[in-house]
Amino acid sequence: MFDALINAFRAPDIRRRILFVLGALIVFRLLAHVPVPGVDRTALTNLFNSNALLGLLDLFSGGGLATFSVVGMGVNPYINASIIMQLMTGVIPGLQALQREGEYGRNRINQYTRYLTVPLAVLQAYGFLAILHSQNVIPKFDLLSLETITQIVTLTAGTVLLMWIGELITERGIGNGISFIIFAGIVGRVPAAIGRFFENPDWAAGIAFVALAVIVVAAIVYIQEGQRRIPIQYASRVRGRRLYQGGATFLPLRVNQAGVIPIIFAVSIILFPAQIASYFQTSQVTVVADIATAVKNFFQAIPVYATLYFILTVGFTYFYTAFTFKPDETADQLRKNGGFIPGIRPGNPTRDYLQKVVFRITSAGALFLGVIAVLPVLLSAVFTSLGGLGLGGTAILIVVSVVVETMKQLEAQLMMRNYEGFIR
């Protein structure tokens, strides 16, 4: 890995790409410290320390939400728009046809995603301000007031700016720009956590934490890179006057095809009832306040929270995998291109075989994501003396995935240069 980084800096074009990424991330971190006025900072800190859902949103915003910065919402609206467009592409025939048109279709879908990001950002900004007002963090909240409109426009503009920076990183840098922004936000919180640990260090717990973190990272890399390779054989075929020779290849099926999306879905659903109940705890009606308190305590109980979190994560992994990978379409494409799986007849038998294989490997991926999701909950009671240096499963999954994909792209760039030098 270090040899690849050294060789990458020796290549002028790759070095420019890396420096561009670093410069863009520095701009993002600077924007994360530019606050939006009109907020009680002490009340804001107390709110984020007691609200798990806002803590998750702050994770994806790179810590900007907890400081109420101009990029406080991060790329959350863009991620939501991307997920919505991905789901709509699977059910709307027009988008399906557009997706099959290659680069032009992908560019059009990306443009629709950008358009959808703006109204989602406005709605999310309004909802976030409403939550802050209900918790007495923002003393004044009126949609017709200039201050509230300015706050909504500022937060929306911050999201659009981060979306633009992310696309610039993707175009002129290395790797996926949106993933890099999330990665930078997560990593940017590590120095502060380490500083809190050294204020009152517990070396035994710290060493155990580091050892466990290494094991978790190794397991994530192993599962994320794990795949089942289905052998594919292509027969010789004639098209027009040209003869295409047959060959052997494979169809890679990743163990975790859903990535981190099932965790995001699961935690959003499981925290939603407690969040709604917290709004009614201050009700003047005693029965309503008591029911709201009971609901909130039930969903925030560690055994209930961990169990539901695990079940929902596993269920959404199956759902998202079934939505994104369609065995019938894959079997149909193989049949049209003269491909077949050795020992399996084309058509419905191939579809059934792929369904069976995907179900089996998704079981391993779903259990893996479930364990990663509840890992912080299970370890929070063990590492209580680390001063906020937690082992967040979602965060570490994102960080490891971004690092692995970036190193792959660096190696591909270096290999391309080696081939070019060899040809010359």
User: Is the model's pTM score more than 0.85?
Assistant: no
Give the residue extent of every domain in the chain.
Answer: 1-188, 202-391
**Can you give the pLDDT of all 424 residues of the chain as single tens digits?**
566 667 767 777 788 888 888 898 888 888 888 888 777 777 777 777 666 566 666 666 666 677 788 888 888 888 888 878 877 887 788 888 887 777 788 888 889 999 999 998 898 888 778 777 777 778 777 777 888 888 899 999 999 999 999 889 888 888 778 878 878 877 777 777 777 777 777 777 777 777 877 887 888 888 878 888 888 887 766 666 665 666 778 888 888 887 777 877 777 677 777 767 766 766 677 888 888 888 877 877 778 878 888 898 898 888 888 877 888 888 888 888 778 888 888 888 888 899 999 899 999 888 888 888 787 766 665 555 444 445 556 677 778 877 877 877 777 777 776 644 433 4
Buried-state track 111-134, b at ≥16 Cβ within 10 A, e below 16 = ebbeebbbebbbebbbebbebbee
pLDDT at 156: 92
Q: In whole angstroms, give the CA distance from residue 300 to residue 53.
A: 11
pLDDT at 199: 75
Kindly report the three-state secondary structure assignment for every residue of the chain: CHHHHHHHHHCHHHHHHHHHHHHHHHHHHHHCCCECCCCCHHHHHHHHHHCHHHHHHHHHCCCCCCCCECCCCCCHHHHHHHHHHHHHHCCCHHHHHHHCCCHHHHHHHHHHHHHHHHHHHHHHHHHHHHHHHHCCCCCCCCCCCHHHHHHHHHHHHHHHHHHHHHHHHHHHCCCCHHHHHHHHHHHCCHHHHHHHHHHCCCHHHHHHHHHHHHHHHHHHHHHHHCEEEEEEEECCEEECCEEECCEEEEEEEECCCCCCHHHHHHHHHHHHHHHHHHHCCCCCCHHHHHHHHHHHHHHHCHHHHHHHHHHHHHHHHHHHHHHHCCHHHHHHHHHHCCEECCCCCCCHHHHHHHHHHHHHHHHHHHHHHHHHHHHHHHHCCCCCCCCCCCCCHHHHHHHHHHHHHHHHHHHHHHHHHHHHHHHC
pLDDT at 130: 77
Q: In whole angstroms, give the CA distance from residue 380 to residue 195.
A: 19
The position carrying tokens 């101009």 is 70
Residues in the chain: 424
| Cβ count near 335 (within 10 Å) | 15
Q: Do domains 1-188 and 202-391 have the same CATH topology?
A: yes
pLDDT at 14: 81
Correct CATH for 1-188 of 1.10.3720.10, 1.10.10.410, 1.10.10.10, 1.10.3370.10: 1.10.3370.10
Classified by CATH at the fold level, domain 202-391 comes out as Preprotein translocase SecY subunit (1.10.3370)
